[in-house]
Amino acid sequence: MDANATTPLLPEVLEAMRPYWMEHFGNASSIHLHGQQAHAAVDRARTTMADFLNCHAAEVVFNSGGTEGDNTALFGLLRPGDHFVTTAIEHSAILEAAKRLADRGVETTFVAPRPSGLIDPEAIRRAMRPETGLISMMLANNETGVLQPVEEIGKMAKEAGVYFHIDAVQGAGKVELDVRRFGCHLLSISGHKMHGPKGVGAMFVRRGTPVEALLVGGSHERRRRAGTENVPGIVGLARAAEAAMHSLEDGTIERVAALRDRLEAGLLEIGGTGVNGGWDGGERVPRVANTTNMWFDQLEGEALVIALDLKGVCISGGSACHSGATEPSHVLMAMGLDKTRARASLRFSLLKTATEDDVDYVLKVVPEAVGHLRALSPVAAGTAG
């Protein structure tokens, strides 16, 4: 139940990668046979990724994953005096990069979401200034699963002549990616969130976008990312992308959505629970199929995470450990939850291989654990400080 943290390799991904560790171990830059075999594998993978993203193969840059893609977009495009627009609910790969850019003379506006977790495009428009050099926004939020209106932002960016980066790490494999439709100049994805390997990812860089390389050295990836290519990783990423494209068409996503909806409905029956980021003005907010974020009154989310771990259920809480202190999620706080409710929130994120039995089991153990913890809770007893 923690697929947004990471996912296992699909068996076919492992099989596709296997020859590139030993038999075909060549360096894709070498001109001899071993090198050429590796080079051909990287080229094939690039074509698959171009298909996955709907771009040209030359616009695909392989890298180490989402953090690198996010950092490359920001450090590669923004210069002192530029203004940067992003949102308050981004991943730390964006937020921490923006913090560092502040020391380098780049001012950032962090646009807050609506209580539903949705970013209002008009709020992005209002945040823009003549010196805005880049807008960066996530496609799907990692904590709530809420899908953001990237196409509208893409149009706005085009009208204003501003570069637009999308962190699509949590959308890849869950919704169709189409960089032309999104209207972005840059887009980042990560292998390990879509049943590919860890430490490998890809970035779409629209032709002509003057993004400076984060890593310099050899002339790999058309000088956009130096470093010997991770050939097995790249092959695995492309195989995972193929599987993802298949899953978008074979009913897998609908099946996962139905499981998530059943899970959510079952958990709501516990009482004193609710969904974070579910509704906006009486309308359902679009979300990726596999995610629900819920609050459980009178609970510390962390206590429930531990109790469920003991029952073999892995979930994430609405708080994160920063410098030794447990802080409520910045995403839930930005949505306007109070600290207690944010701390009482949990993210359930299903693998695409999840089954009815998995959901049955979770629906058996969560109500038990919640009941038990509430009975012990100082919050419930009214003694909380």
Ligand X SMILES: Cc1ncc(COP(=O)(O)O)c(C=O)c1O
Q: Find the part of the chain contacting ligand X (CB under 6 A) among 51-59, 164-172, 228-236, 357-365.
A: 164-172
- When asked if residue 190 is in the footprint of ligand X (CB under 6 A), the reply is yes
∠ CA 316-248-261, nearest 5°, is: 45
Q: Which amino acid is at 124?
A: I
Q: Find the part of the chain contacting ligand X (CB under 6 A) among 61-69, 233-241, 251-259, 310-318.
A: 61-69
One of 93, 147, 162, 299 touching ligand X (CB under 6 A): 93
Q: Judged by CB under 6 A, how many residues of this single chain contact ligand X?
A: 13
Nearer to ligand X, 169 or 354 (CB): 169
- When asked if residue 201 is in the footprint of ligand X (CB under 6 A), the reply is yes
- When asked if residue 173 is in the footprint of ligand X (CB under 6 A), the reply is no
Nearer to ligand X, 143 or 264 (CB): 143
- When asked if residue 170 is in the footprint of ligand X (CB under 6 A), the reply is yes
Nearer to ligand X, 78 or 288 (CB): 288
Where is 280: in which H helix or E strand? strand 279-280
**Nearest-angstrom CA–CA distance, 179 and 185:** 8
And the tokens for 99?
Answer: 């913090």
Taking each helix axis from N to C end, the angle separating 33-53 and 231-247, rounded to the nearest 10 degrees, works out to 30
- When asked if residue 66 is in the footprint of ligand X (CB under 6 A), the reply is yes
Closest separation in Å from C-beta 173 to ligand X: 12
Q: Find the part of the chain contacting ligand X (CB under 6 A) among 51-59, 62-70, 109-117, 357-365.
A: 62-70
And the tokens for 48?
Answer: 């698959």
- When asked if residue 138 is in the footprint of ligand X (CB under 6 A), the reply is yes
One of 17, 41, 147, 169 touching ligand X (CB under 6 A): 169
- When asked if residue 91 is in the footprint of ligand X (CB under 6 A), the reply is yes
- When asked if residue 65 is in the footprint of ligand X (CB under 6 A), the reply is yes
Closest separation in Å from C-beta 193 to ligand X: 6
Closest separation in Å from C-beta 36 to ligand X: 29
- When asked if residue 28 is in the footprint of ligand X (CB under 6 A), the reply is no
Which residue in 203, 192, 320, 182 sits closest to 244, CA to CA?
A: 192
Closest separation in Å from C-beta 19 to ligand X: 24
Nearer to ligand X, 59 or 167 (CB): 167
And the tokens for 113?
Answer: 């979401």
- When asked if residue 67 is in the footprint of ligand X (CB under 6 A), the reply is yes
Q: Which amino acid is at 269?
A: E
Task: Give catalytic residue positions.
Answer: 321
- Sign of CA pseudo-dihedral 330, 336, 339, 340: negative
And the tokens for 302?
Answer: 């962390």
Residue by residue, DSSP assigns 25-49 as ---TT--SHHHHHHHHHHHHHHHHH
Q: Find the part of the chain contacting ligand X (CB under 6 A) among 43-51, 105-113, 165-173, 292-300.
A: 165-173
**Nearest-angstrom CA–CA distance, 40 and 45:** 9
- When asked if residue 230 is in the footprint of ligand X (CB under 6 A), the reply is no
Closest separation in Å from C-beta 103 to ligand X: 22
Q: Which amino acid is at 50?
A: A
Hey, what long-range contacts does 219-225 have (CB within 8 A, 24 or more apart)?
Answer: 220/28, 220/29, 221/61, 221/62, 221/63, 222/58, 222/61, 224/61, 225/61, 225/62, 225/63, 225/72
- When asked if residue 329 is in the footprint of ligand X (CB under 6 A), the reply is no
| Residue 132, Cβ density class (10 Å: 0-12 exposed, 13-18 middle, ≥19 buried) | buried
Nearer to ligand X, 138 or 337 (CB): 138
Q: Do the strands 201-205 and 60-63 form a parallel or antiparallel pair, or are they unpaired?
A: antiparallel
- When asked if residue 278 is in the footprint of ligand X (CB under 6 A), the reply is no
Where is 97: in which H helix or E strand? helix 92-103
Instruction: Using CB under 6 A, list all residues that contact ligand X.
Output: 65-67, 70, 91, 93, 138, 142, 167, 169-170, 190, 201
